[in-house]
Amino acid sequence: MNWLRVFFAGGVTSYRALFAWVNPWVFVPMLVAYPLFQTLFFAYLGRSAGVGAAFFLIGDSFVAAAITGLFGMGHSIGGERRFQTLPILLASPASRLALFLGRSMPTVVNGFVVAAIAFGLGAWLLGLRFQSGELAKLALALVVSCFACTALGLCIGALGLRGRSVSVFADFIGALMLIVSGANVPFDRLPHVVRTIASGVPLTHGIAAARKVVNGASVGSVGNLLGAELGIAAAYFTVGVLLLRVFERQARTSGSFERF
């Protein structure tokens, strides 16, 4: 019971603290306007390069979910340090799994909502239409990618126990994802080394699956891609939890929780 309380109460409080909510308008510029205009920017750039708008609509909606996962999850841990609540949090006997899983769930949901808004508004502005069946399959791929990106965000958040700013890591990785994941450049135009890196990065397989289902593929035919994305999510989540354990122990030894 206490595990569930830590999971839900911790998650909701952490999510609200993420934006220092006073009113929901704080949400709009960062999580509605930014991803929407990013989608439009690359869609128009792609139009001048002869690539269809749907390619970028899908790619950049997924990137929106990734940015939310990377920054959201990263800051939900890094923010504890900034607001000096990290020592209290880690001194508590609460289950670490409940603490960090609780913080990851709102980020997954948030990523999905942000991506869905960017996709919906982007499709409307770009004049693209999709069947409801395609949208359902697209949503499935998006959920899986949201998990994978939040898991990577957990690794970034763990770095927040060592470094002062998680934003540096989140921003750097988020920038690279624009290319590496294939969100904005067709894979056949990228160098081989980038494609190799892409195979181990969240989003890559999710975006590929999404593009296939929009072109009429069944869920079964993209099962291997979704499975790969889930595997990547599990791997990053495991690494994130391990990093948190190691860095927590090191920070306890060096007394660096309050160093900011």
Residue ranges in contact with another protein by CB under 8 A: 19-20, 22, 26, 28-30, 33-34, 37-38, 40-42, 44-49, 51, 164-165, 167-168, 171-172, 175-176, 178-179, 184-185, 189-190
CA angle 200, 139, 39 (to 5 degrees): 75
226/209 Cα distance (integer angstroms): 7
Smallest gap, in angstroms, from Cβ of residue 10 to another protein? 23
Dihedral of CA 70/73/74/76: which sign? positive
Taking the complex as a whole, the smallest distance from the CB of residue 168 to another protein amounts, in Å, to 5
Tell me how far, at minimum, the Cβ of 113 lies from another protein, in Å. Answer: 16
Q: In 3D, which of 87, 241, 219, 242 has the Cα closest to residue 143?
A: 219
Nearer to another protein, 36 or 226 (CB): 36
Residue with Cβ nearer another protein (79 or 102): 79
Q: Shortest approach of another protein to residue 189 CB, angstroms? A: 5
Three-class secondary structure assignment of 203-244: CHHHHHHHHHHHCCCCCHHHHHHHHHHHHHHHHHHHHHHHHH
Q: Which is nearer to another protein, 176 or 242 (CB)?
A: 176
In whole angstroms, how close is the CB of 251 to another protein at the nearest point? 19
Q: Which is nearer to another protein, 168 or 234 (CB)?
A: 168
Looking at beta carbons only, is 45 or 242 nearer to another protein? 45
Least Cβ distance, residue 143 to another protein (angstroms): 25
Residue 173 or 209 with smaller CB distance to another protein = 173
